[in-house]
Amino acid sequence: MFGLIAKRLLLAIPNLIGVVIITFLLTRALPGDPAAYFAGPAANKEAIEQIRVKLGLDRPLPEQFVRYVKDLAGGDLGNSLTTGQPVVTEIRNRLPASAELTLFGLVISISIAVPLGILAAVKQGSWIDHACRVVATAGVSLPVFFTGLLLVYVFYFLLGWSPAPLGRLDVFFSAPPQVTSFYLIDSLIARDFGLFRSALSQLILPGVTLGVFSLAPIARMTRASMLAVLGSDFVRTARASGLDTRTVILTYAFRNAMLPVITTLGMVFSFLLGANVLVEKVFAWPGIGSYAVEALIASDFAPVQGFVLTMAILYVALNLIIDVLYGLIDPRVRLEG
Amino acid sequence: MSESNSVLRHARYVVSENPVTGFAFAMFLLIAFAALFGPYIVPHDPLASDTAATLQPPSIKHWFGTDQLGRDIFSRVVVATRLDFAIAVSSVILVFAMGGLAGIASGFFGGWTDRIVGRISDTIMAFPLFVLAMGIVAALGNTVTNIVLATAVINFPLYVRVARAEANVRRETGFVQAARLSGNGEFRVLLMHILPNIMPIMMVQVSLTMGYAILNAAGLSFIGLGVRPPTPEWGIMVAEGSGNIISGEWWIALFPGLALMLAVFCFNLLGDGLRDLVDPQRRT
Amino acid sequence: MAKRTPKKTGATVARDASISMPLLEVRDLTVEFATRRGTVRAVEHVNITVGKGETLGIVGESGSGKSVTSFAVMRILDRAGRIAQGSVLFSGVDLTTTSDADMRRDLRGGEMSIIFQNPRAALNPIRKIGRQIEDVLLQHAQVGNQDVGEHAIQMLEQVRIARPRERYHAYPFELSGGMCQRVVIALALACRPQLLIADEPTTGLDVTTQKAVMDLVVELTRERGMSSILITHDLGLAAAYCTRVVVMEKGRVVETAKAETIFTKPAHAYTRKLMRATPRPGVSLRDLLPEGDGSRAPAPKASGTRRTTGTLLTVEKLVKEYSRKREVSLFTRLFEPKPPIEEEIFRAVDGVSFSINRGESVGLVGESGCGKSTTSMMLMRLIDKSSGLIMFDGEDIGEIPARDFAKIPLRKRIQMVFQDPTDSLNPRYTAARAIADPILRLGDAAGRDVRARCEELARRVGLPKELLDRFPHQLSGGQKARVGIARAIALKPDLVVLDEPTAALDVSVQAVVLNLLQDLKDSLGMSYLFVSHDLNVVRLLCDRVIVMRAGQIVEEGLTKQVLSDPQSDYTRELLAAIPHPPV
């Protein structure tokens, strides 16, 4: 098991190196001159040149790269030009917001998609099967930002059930004492139920938006995988041995069917991390997605670099967890790998 | 000759079995029509602003209402079809050519080809794909070409994976061995024997990623990294209308959003129908 | 043996049925399937009885409905199938009216079991085999939770799996095909059912493994007084292991008789045809054909410029090695104290030498993994050798890399007929295009001549001209085989390697194809290397035979000699494993 993890980690390193290089190149290619921005509108050419030297932007590209990597190794992601704050700090502050939102959305989508997919496969041809197919195809077709806007319009503007999409908490509340930085959990720990309800009500619409977005591929994959497994030889043997329906579906079919679904989760995560950016814009969510977009538009490349790097590392870590999960379930990977 | 007959017959059968596919195909024709002829038949100039008639709800004069600058939304939505459709088609063709060829070479020859293509693919996959697209467009500039390029790049790993798997499966089959015995060199085997067998599955992929390409372009435009105003494009129109949702002017964002959704939905249904046509055992 | 508690509802099956009442009685059974082209009747008006302790064989070719009948008995038909008519009485209970829940609870696994082809696929790949046996035991309340582990191990012992305690924790991918089949048998017999159905249980297994598995099944069923049904396409196998045999054709029963008479005095014309077509000792190729066809005179010998004597192919000390190098990661090398494991080398072919003369047909036999396919691939120049010599008509073809061989003129002189006719035809090429491929690439005909050539070849192999423009999925197995043969002989090769060319075909089609191959060899003056595991077929077609095992040749000589008076123990073992019908 340990060997499996170590092997995967080693394989991930060249990927991370590639990510660092590409991020560096992309952001150095950003339009706009950070030196001019930093110097201010009143600065003259000499002042801008001075700033440029100070920032190290006059050095050749490879040298800048080495400097960048050195800083990276020391945990320094540079400073944001627009806010002046170290990028690491800002990312650390804003990451929990995005993480809580993403996890919330994922929990919603898995808890609907997986049972739906299983039912659709078991009762093939029934109305549930057709509903699942429609949901899956429609869900994949909805632009995530459109879903968000639609939900805001219906539930906030028309029905008034949801609060205004202005962030994680209503104006009247302040953040709970920080334990996990997840407002839902922290407010429960602090036994502040009013706060909990507020945090939850703010989370619902963006969470459901993300949930709807990730529901479709998961439901689709679960259904297809269950169908394939239910038609396999070993399920036929299990049925022919007289095993009861519950054992056949759960112990025999489901565990085998989950394998491709778990690998799909990796792809779903990739989509979610991207969709996060869009949802945070619609709901004014103070996460790292909106942080990066604002920086991008302002040609402030240190936050963008930090964001892309963080996302990539997160993604690699997530894939690692998925690989390990897969290995736990499938002995062929463990013993042959 | 008998091949096209049987394909037609099979297609007719699939459409009759599955009216949804027929519907999707009809929708596709409608979209193509709008893309080709839209600009010529719309009632109003999509770029013409009319400060007297801003933020009007849908009416007889303006079927979809007007936006903050008084422009007719219906005309803009129809004209935008051409741009979004063009972006989707060109990026898909690009990635199909690049990714498809790289994939089958990688799956068939293995060795260094496989390793290099795999490395490139993995590096792209290490990024959350939309984020990478954002980065590429931000770095290279907000032009349609760059949007197409970015979409092609982020879809590259998927095409490589599908093509590689298909080529790999067929690498040692009997008919490939027989082709070698008949005097076909390795490249001929790849192009004349393996590629024709892979095409149907790749076509399914193409159809499915068309929808994804449109969504990608729209998403980029939504956060300001895509097409620039005043060009009519579905994503940017939704962005422009998003601020007005809270104040209740729903039509500005809704109609382009619906058009977006319908187009993607149509491509996905078409892809599913194609999949049924090509390989009934893989029906989803 | 745990006491069987009476079941709650539905099918309470009588255990003490009197000897005279048959255990299973299928009456007028008709099964229909809903397909794209309407309703298809897979089985029509079938009557079968199985007595207590009896072993019944159901024999038929593909499409005969033999498997569908047994699936209908167990009520495990596909979703699209249904029992349209008739009844199935199991110890007096009509299974056609029993609910699925009752079937599941009381009958399947408990009173009747089934084992299928492809044993590895029949087991859950991610569950330990011991646990899978336990599931069945617990389901039918045979034992309590504490004892179930021991019982599972006992079952593994009974099916003769060595080191059962260890193997309990094994996963299916860690076991061989034969061992997987034993586990499947253990699953089927765990709850001591009264009836065991075996659906082609030995297809795909080596002939020695086949014998071991069949002997085991027969022994266990006899021991427990069980009845069993053996479904097979091999009449010889059925006659050897069963007391009575039922012959089915196109969904109907054509004959039911005792095993001895089926072979010696077959009554129905179809049975006679099947019996004649089964390769067995003491007959010639022509005898395999249906009566009346055998009178065809042998094809005229080759005439013309082709030499008909002398050595065509010589192989000397041919070796093929594969390295099973385990990728030792950097991490392991840094942190493990012991040195990394050395490269493991696997010798698929270990110093093989033989020769083939012109006009000769040589058989290359052995079980799976013996290296016969690897050897033939090297001769074909589809893969490269590791060391050794391959001389073809005076030229050292072993030195030419496989990659380059496709483009040289020598290529057309060595061709191949493949085992799986479906796999060896490009699904997107018509039959004509497939046959034309070698002509276009290596031949010198062009344009309309190519088509004429294809038609001539089709005539030669007995393929109707109209089928030339069809695609593989529109052709039958026998037709596809003919297309493959036409393609192989298109350029009049000197040597044709045939890799189990009839293994995937029905036995009656096989008879015709084998005769065709013999005729072609004689009329075109070709040499054959016939790779097979089926000694009976080799006996009919080959002048000489080479027996391989674990990459080496253990015996070789004239077919008549080797098969009647084998020198090596292994050959004797192979011959003994062939099922002997009672004659």
Chain C residues inside the 8 Å CB shell of A232: 121
Find, among B75, B83, C189, the residue nearest to A241 by Cα.
Answer: C189
Cβ contact A10–C329 (<8 Å): yes
Identity of the amino acid at A182: F
Length of chain B: 284
A270 to chain B: closest CA residue:
B128
Distance from CA of C121 to the nearest CA of A (A): 6
C75 to chain A: closest CA residue:
A240
Distance from CA of A193 to the nearest CA of B (A): 28
Give counts: helices (H), strands (E), chain A.
Answer: 15, 0
Contact status, residue A235 vs residue A248, Cβ threshold 8 Å: yes
The tens digit of pLDDT for each residue in A132-171 reads: 888 888 888 888 888 888 888 888 888 888 888 777 877 7
Range scoring the smallest mean pLDDT among B3-7, B74-78, C145-149, C150-154: B3-7
Chain B residues inside the 8 Å CB shell of C382: 177, 180-181
pLDDT at B13: 65
Cβ contact B128–A311 (<8 Å): yes
> What share of residues in chain B are helix, strand, coil (percent, to 5)?
80, 0, 20
Across the interface, which of B122, B134, B246 has its CB nearest the CB of A15?
A: B122
Neighbours, chain A (3 or more CB pairs < 8 A): B, C
Instruction: Name the pLDDT band for A32 (thresholds 50, 70, 90).
Output: low
pLDDT at B2: 46
Distance from CA of C106 to the nearest CA of A (A): 8
Torsion of CA C347, C352, C356, C360, to 10 degrees: -70
Across the interface, which of A236, A243, A329 has its CB nearest the CB of C139?
A: A243
The tens digit of pLDDT for each residue in C339-393 reads: 545 567 888 899 999 999 999 999 999 988 888 989 999 999 999 999 999 999 9
Range scoring the smallest mean pLDDT among A10-14, A256-260, C16-20, C503-507: C16-20
Identity of the amino acid at A53: V
Considering only residues 204 to 243 of chain B, which have any Cβ-Cβ distance to chain A shorter than 8 Å?
A: 211, 215, 218-219, 222-225, 235, 238-239, 241-242
Whether chain C has a CB inside 8 Å of the CB on B180: the answer is yes
Chain B residues inside the 8 Å CB shell of A149: 238, 241-242, 245, 253, 257
pLDDT at C49: 93
Residue C266 per-residue DSSP state: -
pLDDT at C10: 42
Tokens representing C8? 């709650």
The tens digit of pLDDT for each residue in A125-140 reads: 788 888 888 888 888 8
Q: Say how many CB pairs under 8 Å bridge A and C.
A: 89
Find, among C152, C120, C147, the residue nearest to C136 by Cα.
Answer: C152
A153 to chain B: closest CA residue:
B245
3-state secondary structure of C245: strand
pLDDT at B10: 64
User: What average pLDDT is seen over chain C?
Assistant: 86
Distance from CA of C235 to the nearest CA of A (A): 26
The tens digit of pLDDT for each residue in C434-468 reads: 999 999 998 878 888 899 999 999 999 999 999 99
Range scoring the smallest mean pLDDT among A174-188, B205-219, C476-490: A174-188
> pTM for the whole thing?
0.82
Chain B residues inside the 8 Å CB shell of C407: 183, 185
- Give A25's strand partners: none
Whether chain A has a CB inside 8 Å of the CB on C127: the answer is yes
Interface test with C, best of B2, B175, B186, B199 (most C CBs within 10 A): B175
The tens digit of pLDDT for each residue in C287-338 reads: 888 776 655 555 555 555 566 678 899 999 999 998 875 554 444 445 555 5
Length of chain A: 337
pLDDT at C9: 38
Neighbours, chain B (3 or more CB pairs < 8 A): A, C
Residue C295 phi/psi, 5° resolution?
A: -80, -5
Contact status, residue C520 vs residue C490, Cβ threshold 8 Å: no
Whether chain B has a CB inside 8 Å of the CB on C573: the answer is no
As a whole number, mean pLDDT of residues B55-69 equals 81
Whether chain A has a CB inside 8 Å of the CB on B273: the answer is no
Cβ contact C438–B182 (<8 Å): yes
Distance CA C2, CA A24 (A): 72
Distance CA A39, CA A33 (A): 10
pLDDT at B117: 93
Across the interface, which of B122, B136, B223 has its CB nearest the CB of A281?
A: B223
Q: Say how many CB pairs under 8 Å bridge B and C.
A: 72
Whether chain A has a CB inside 8 Å of the CB on B105: the answer is no
Instruction: Name the pLDDT band for C496 (thresholds 50, 70, 90).
Output: very high
> Which has more pLDDT, C494 or B279?
C494
The tens digit of pLDDT for each residue in A38-79 reads: 666 677 778 777 777 776 677 777 887 888 788 777 777 777
Whether C18 has a pLDDT exceeding 80, the answer reads no
Contact status, residue C88 vs residue C29, Cβ threshold 8 Å: yes
pLDDT at C425: 94
Contact status, residue B213 vs residue B92, Cβ threshold 8 Å: yes
Cβ contact A252–C127 (<8 Å): yes
Cβ contact A278–B219 (<8 Å): yes
A35 Cα distance to chain centroid: 32
Percent of chain C at pLDDT > 70 equals 90
pLDDT at B222: 87
Burial of C136 (0-12, 13-18, 19+ CB in 10 A): buried
Tokens representing C373? 């396919």
Across the interface, which of C411, C428, C430 has its CB nearest the CB of B183?
A: C411
pLDDT at C12: 46
pLDDT at A40: 66
Percent of chain A at pLDDT > 70 equals 93
Buried b vs exposed e over C470-489: b needs ≥16 C-beta within 10 Å?
A: bbbeebebbbbbbbbbbbbb
Cβ contact A149–B257 (<8 Å): yes
pLDDT at C17: 47
pLDDT at C538: 92
- C311-323/C345-357 β-pairing: antiparallel
The tens digit of pLDDT for each residue in A98-116 reads: 989 999 999 999 999 999 9
Chain C residues inside the 8 Å CB shell of B182: 437-438, 441-442, 487
Burial of B4 (0-12, 13-18, 19+ CB in 10 A): exposed
Instruction: Name the pLDDT band for B230 (thresholds 50, 70, 90).
Output: confident
As a whole number, mean pLDDT of residues C133-149 equals 86
Whether chain B has a CB inside 8 Å of the CB on C380: the answer is yes
Cis, peptide link before residue C579, omega less than 30° from 0: no
pLDDT at C186: 92
pLDDT at C331: 46
Find, among C185, C232, C178, the residue nearest to C209 by Cα.
Answer: C178
Residue C429 phi/psi, 5° resolution?
A: -110, 140
Contact status, residue C110 vs residue C61, Cβ threshold 8 Å: no
> Which has more pLDDT, A296 or C295?
A296
Percent of chain B at pLDDT > 90 equals 20
Burial of B233 (0-12, 13-18, 19+ CB in 10 A): buried
> Which has more pLDDT, C13 or A240?
A240
Interface test with C, best of B108, B182, B194, B198 (most C CBs within 10 A): B182
Length of chain C: 583
Whether chain B has a CB inside 8 Å of the CB on C477: the answer is no
Chain B residues inside the 8 Å CB shell of C427: 175, 197
Cβ contact B127–A316 (<8 Å): no
pLDDT at C8: 39
ipTM: 0.80
pLDDT at C308: 67
Helix (H) or strand (E) holding A119: helix A87-122
Buried b vs exposed e over C296-330: b needs ≥16 C-beta within 10 Å?
A: eeeeeebeeeeeeeeebbbbeebbbeeeeeeeebe
Whether chain C has a CB inside 8 Å of the CB on B175: the answer is yes
Cβ contact A332–C108 (<8 Å): no
Distance from CA of B197 to the nearest CA of C (A): 7
pLDDT at A297: 74
Instruction: Name the pLDDT band for C7 (thresholds 50, 70, 90).
Output: very low
Contact status, residue A157 vs residue B245, Cβ threshold 8 Å: yes
- C252-258/C414-417 β-pairing: unpaired
Find, among B248, C47, C74, the residue nearest to A158 by Cα.
Answer: B248
> Which has more pLDDT, A243 or C19?
A243
Contact status, residue B59 vs residue B68, Cβ threshold 8 Å: no
pLDDT at A238: 92
Q: Say how many CB pairs under 8 Å bridge A and B.
A: 145
Side-chain half-sphere of C82: how many Cα atoms within 13 Å?
A: 7
Distance CA B137, CA A297 (A): 11
As a whole number, mean pLDDT of residues C27-51 equals 90
Chain B residues inside the 8 Å CB shell of C441: 182-184
A237 to chain C: closest CA residue:
C122
Distance from CA of B204 to the nearest CA of A (A): 14
Chain A residues inside the 8 Å CB shell of B129: 270-271, 274
Chain C residues inside the 8 Å CB shell of B178: 416, 418, 424-426, 434, 437, 484, 487
